[in-house]
Amino acid sequence: MDMRTRVGIIGAGPAGLMLSLLLSMEGIDSLVLESRSREEIESTIRAGVLEQGTVDLMTDIGLDERMQQEGAVHHGIELRFDGEAHRINLYELTNGRAITIYPQHEVIKDFVAARLKQGGDILFNVTDVQLSDVASSQPHIHFVYEQEQMELQCDFIAGCDGFHGVSRSSIPAEKQNVFTRSYPFGWLGILMQAPPSTHELIYTYHERGFALVSTRSPELQRMYIQCDPQDDIANWSDTMILEELQARLATTDNWKLLVGPIIQKSILAMRSFVIEPMQYGRLFLAGDAAHIVPPTGAKGLNLAIADVRHLARAITLFYQQNQTHLLEAYSTTCLRRVWRTEHFSWWMTSMLHRFPDDDAFQQRMQRAQLDYTVSSRAAATSLAENYAGLPFHW
């Protein structure tokens, strides 16, 4: 069957869904194609931290109702090392910016509901997605939906299909400049049924490795410990995970981690990745399809949203005033923030993890950086403005 839309969007993650919402508000039709089911995308546990700009955008477009009720605004984070807690006051250091803890799958639920309410379509469970003619003014997406072969003709294609998606490979290999870094460690993430042990997130540097205490709700806590990225989660009993968390988080004043049943656990690898440019012909990449950051800076979702804000503006200008300069500048505009965020995420990761091959010198460097970050207002401000999120014009 042949179909037509102005903007074909591949992937119903934060990037694809937000793009469809922003375009629809400008009267521009789009169609979102998603390979998974609605239930699956609305239940996958991923990010937790929304930066100020993401919260402001959701508020501006009227998608803040559940986030206001169920999200938690945090004005600071804690850096913990040598058994001591050090608070970074994000709010004060950034003139009133903060982060909101609101899980990604709740964001997805809100976006899907809003999109369907607008009367927009999302096709779930599509398979065999392929792009063609992306260098022409009439690119196509071929896919199978409910056993039927479909062909979608578009003016533009937005590749919002994450790191493992198909869009990126439609850019000819010789046009792809890829920058990567893999880290010699991963994160073991858990969900624990327990009350919060802390009002704010705790990022811990410890000789046994990094640990992070985050939250999902007053009853459910999210925690991570640095581990071998090749390790099998089956090697980690709940008791071992708890012992490791307690050892790494221990303080000189005997702070206590409140514990309960672990209801989910998994290991994820960490990498940095950027493709340049983020566009080829009428194909525009956004979010994880174009770049990956290690999660230590809590930035991936926020960066995905920043990309599609630029893309929506550029596409809107094209339809409303027949101007292409924002489209032409899309990659350059986005990459400035992308590389700033890559650096921040790499910096947080490097400062807070134990590297398997590090020596005493390297450890002293990390210790000196941590000490400076929590003692100097200038250094703490730099962390705070990146963590709470730079303004959109960055």
Which are the catalytic amino acids?
A: 74, 203, 295, 299, 387
Report what 161 binds from ligand RFL, ligand PHB, none; CB cut-off 5-8 Å by kind.
ligand RFL
**Alpha-carbon torsion (111, 114, 115, 116), positive or negative:** positive
Q: How far is the CB of 33 from ligand RFL (least distance, A)?
A: 5
Which of 233/368 has CB closer to ligand RFL? 233
Mode of pairing for the β-strands spanning 202-205 and 140-145: unpaired
Residue among 127 and 323 whose Cβ is closer to ligand RFL: 127
Tell me the residue nearest to ligand PHB as measured from the CB: 48
257 binds, among ligand RFL, ligand PHB, none (CB under 5 to 8 A by kind): none
Least CB distance from residue 31 to ligand RFL, whole Å?
12
Q: Residue 304, interface with ligand RFL (CB under 6 A)?
A: yes
- Selected from 299, 309, 310, 353, the binder of ligand RFL by CB under 6 A is 299
- 296 binds, options ligand RFL, ligand PHB, none, Cβ within 5 to 8 A by partner type: ligand PHB
- Residue 162 sits in the site that holds ligand RFL (CB under 6 A): yes
* CA-to-CA dists, residue 273 to 98, 179, 289, angstroms: 27, 6, 10
Q: How many CB atoms lie within 10 A of CB 266?
A: 12
Nearer Cβ to ligand RFL (81/387)? 387
What would the DSSP string read from start to end of 280-323? ETTEEE-GGGTEE--GGG--HHHHHHHHHHHHHHHHHHHHHH--
107 near ligand RFL, judged by CB under 6 A: no
Separation CA 372–CA 355 (nearest Å) = 20
- Residue 222 binding partner per list ligand RFL, ligand PHB, none, with a CB distance cut-off of 5 to 8 Å that depends on partner kind: ligand PHB
With binding defined as CB under 6 A, does residue 35 bind ligand RFL?
yes
Of 13-21, 204-212, 372-380, 386-394, the segment contacting ligand RFL by CB under 6 A is 13-21
Residue 263 or 365: which CB sits closer to ligand RFL? Answer: 263
Least gap, CB of 174 to ligand PHB (angstroms): 36
**Does 101 contact ligand RFL by CB under 6 A?**
no
Q: Rule CB under 6 A: is residue 342 a binding residue for ligand RFL? A: no
Q: Which of 9, 47, 267, 388 binds ligand RFL (CB under 6 A)?
A: 47
Q: Name the 3-class secondary structure at 136.
A: coil
85: enclosing H helix or E strand: strand 84-89
* Residue 138: DSSP 8-state: S
- Which of 302, 333, 366, 373 is in the footprint of ligand RFL by CB under 6 A? 302
Binds 294, which of ligand RFL, ligand PHB, none (CB < 5 to 8 A, cut-off by type)? none
CA dist., res. 20 & res. 25, Å (int): 9
Q: Read out DSSP for 174-227?
A: GG-EEEEEEEEEEEEEEEEES--S-SS-EEEE-TT--EEEEEEETTEEEEEEEE
- Does 340 bind ligand RFL (CB under 6 A)? Our answer is no
Q: Which DSSP state fits 268?
A: E
Residue 34 touches which of ligand PHB, ligand RFL, none (Cβ within 5-8 Å per kind): ligand RFL
* C-beta closer to ligand RFL: residue 212 or 370: 212
Q: What size, in residues, is the chain? A: 394
Smallest distance, ligand PHB to C-beta of residue 387, A? 9
| 189 forms part of the interface with ligand RFL (CB under 6 A) | yes
Inter-CA distances, 19 with 139, 160, 312, Å: 18, 9, 6
Residues at the site binding ligand PHB, with contacts judged by CB under 6 A: 47-49, 201, 212, 214, 222, 295-296, 298
Among 295, 310, 314, 341, contact with ligand RFL (rule: CB under 6 A): 295
Q: Which two structure tokens, joined as six digits, stand for 277?
A: 């440019």
Q: Assess contact for 389 and 54: CB atoms under 8 A.
A: yes
The reply on whether position 301 binds ligand RFL by CB under 6 A is yes
- Beta-carbon contacts of 51 under 8 Å, excluding residues fewer than 6 positions away, are 97, 99, 298, 299, 302, 387, 388, 389
* CA angle centred on 242, ends 238 and 248, rounded to 5°: 145
CB 304 within 8 A of CB 288: yes
User: Which residues bind to ligand RFL, rule: CB under 6 A?
Assistant: 10-16, 33-36, 41, 46-49, 104, 126, 129, 160-162, 165-166, 189, 268, 287-288, 295, 298-302, 304
